[in-house]
Chain A
Amino acid sequence: MLGGVAGGLGDYFNVDPLLIRISFVGLMIFGGAGLVLYVVAWLLLPAEGHDASPLGAFGRWLHLSPARMAWLAVGLVALFLLINSWNVGIGYSVSGDGPLGIPGVVWALAIVVTGVMLVRRREVVAAPSSGVAAPAAMELPARPVITAPPRPRSPLAWYISGAMLLAIGVLAMVSQVAERDVTPGQFFGAALVVLGIGLVVGAWWGRARILILLAILLAPLGVMGSFLTAPLEGGVGDHAFQPVTAAEVQDEYRSLGGRLTLDLTQLTTSPRDIHIAASVAVGQLMVILPEGASIELHTRVGAGDVIVLGSQDVGTSLDSRFVRRNLNQTTYILDLEAGIGEVYVRTVGSF
């Protein structure tokens, strides 16, 4: 069955079916997207020896042409998903969860493109070449099916896939040699640049349209990755720390994803300033301070919001500082960062 769908897609996109199979398996990593896309492809592509897909056959039963059926389905599903993602604000729709944890916009784009594929595939079913169509030929069940001659498979998709991995590897090596941090978004950017060049080449030489689907999947991941400016260190999940003495305070607290809570309210007064750097790549970083504490805050958020003592700021690339000094109090010098998520600083008793 996998081979059937992969073979059909391979014929359509004029690429090796092995590449399609690898793509399906690879997409399983993204919350089972490969399985969903496979089922969608199975519904939309006719089996060998048949002139209609399962969905097309259903459309015939409803007396709807395949194109109308496809556009109807695409329109309904895309509208539903876009409206659904709109609820959390269009600016954040790229990161809003959709089915299987994949952002709704990704689903909408994938389904729209699949619909376009279906409509275009139908154009291979040619009308009679005489120029005068008999009335009977206009009826869908009796329409003669002329399959297009097989085209030689294009290796372009393989070339682009290889070049994409090469670009990512070279960028990683350069960042190591030059000792420069490269964000996940920049790795995705390198992959998309190679994909884009390959697709432009494919507009005149060879064929690599299957990579449009890959670009649609990588684009939102790249956008999200570009906001992951916080260090990708630490564990995943909810972690809470409540140091009591200055000796228990760590210089750094890191979390890859989840909620990191740093409660400093039980900390005994220290004659020295307390320096702490804390970050969450994706999630919430909460710091609870004693009432009236002297603080020097530096907060950075890639995308999300910052709440400092009741003052909130929402957006992207947020970078702010806050200073409050009280005499005879320990000064907390905090460097707080969240990639995608929230930095929340409050005093005990306030929410």
Chain B
Amino acid sequence: MQRHPADAFSLLAGLMTLGLGLLLLSGGLGDVPMEWVGPAVAIGLGLLIVVAARPGRVKVEDEPARFGGK
């Protein structure tokens, strides 16, 4: 696997998935007030869209030499 520039979209999605997974694995979801689920989903989705749509990203294809690409 090649190293590439940091992909904030994957990072954010991964951290959100990891957090939910740990919560489910610990069995502690029953203590979470369900009225916060909707806002939490909206905030997470909003962050993902902002990260995905932000300008000025550098693609690995643009700078292959910098990251060891061919």
Q: Is A47 an interface position by the 8 A CB rule?
A: no
User: Interface of chain A, helix or strand or loop or mixed?
Assistant: helix
Q: Does B43 contact A (CB under 8 A)?
A: no
State in angstroms the CA–CA spacing of A204 and B33 once bound together. 34
Q: Which of B3, B14, B27, B49 contacts A200 (CB 8 A)?
A: B14
Contacts of B48 in A (CB 8 A): 113, 116
Q: B1 at interface (Cβ–Cβ under 8 A)?
A: yes
A203 x B8 contact (CB < 8 A): yes
- Which one of A91, A148, A198, A201 contacts B61 once the chains associate, using CB atoms below 8 Å? A148
When the two chains form their complex, are residues B13 and A316 in contact, meaning their CB atoms are under 8 A apart?
no
Q: Is the CB of B17 within 8 A of A195?
A: yes
Pairwise interchain contact A316-B34, C-beta atoms closer than 8 A = yes
A149 to B35, CA, bound (A): 47
Interface residue range, chain A: 35 or more
Query: Is A116 within 8 A of B7, CB to CB?
Result: no
B 32-64 to A, binary, CB cutoff 8 A, 1 in contact else 0: 101101100100010011001100000111000
Mostly, the B contact residues are helix
- Given A112-B45, A189-B24, A203-B6, the answer on whether A155 and B17 have CB atoms closer than 8 Å is no
Interface size class, chain B: 35 or more
Q: Does residue A317 face the partner (Cβ distance < 8 Å to B)?
A: yes
With A90-B35, A154-B1 as contacts: A119 and B17 at CB distance below 8 Å: no
Q: Does A253 contact B (CB under 8 A)?
A: no
Asked if A227 is at the interface of the complex by the 8 Å CB criterion, the answer is yes
What chain A residues lie within 8 Å of B60 (beta carbons)?
Answer: 151
Q: Is there an interface contact between B18 and A197, defined as CB atoms closer than 8 Å?
A: yes
Question: A91, B24: Cβ atoms under 8 Å?
Answer: no
Q: Type the 1/0 row for B4-32, where 1 means its CB is closer than 8 Å to any CB of A.
A: 10111111011111111111111101111
Residues of B within 8 A of A189 (CB): 20-26
A93's closest neighbor in chain B, by CB? Answer: B38
User: Does A205 have its Cβ within 8 Å of any Cβ on chain B?
Assistant: yes
Which of chain A's residues 178-195 have a Cβ closer than 8 Å to chain B?
183, 185-186, 188-195
CA distance in complex: A91, B33 (Å): 9
The contact of B11 among A92, A199, A229, by CB within 8 Å, is A199
User: Shortest Cβ distance from A194 into chain B, in angstroms?
Assistant: 8
CB distance from A172 to the nearest CB of B (A): 13
Can you offer 22 A-B residue contacts whose CB atoms are under 8 A?
Answer: A91-B35, A92-B34, A109-B45, A112-B45, A112-B49, A120-B52, A152-B2, A154-B2, A185-B27, A186-B25, A192-B17, A192-B18, A196-B19, A199-B11, A200-B10, A202-B14, A203-B11, A204-B7, A205-B4, A208-B10, A215-B13, A222-B24
B-side residues, CB < 8 A to A, are: 1-4, 6-11, 13-27, 29-32, 34-35, 37-38, 41, 45, 48-49, 52-53, 59-61
The 3 closest A-B pairs by CB, nearest first: A196-B18, A189-B24, A199-B14
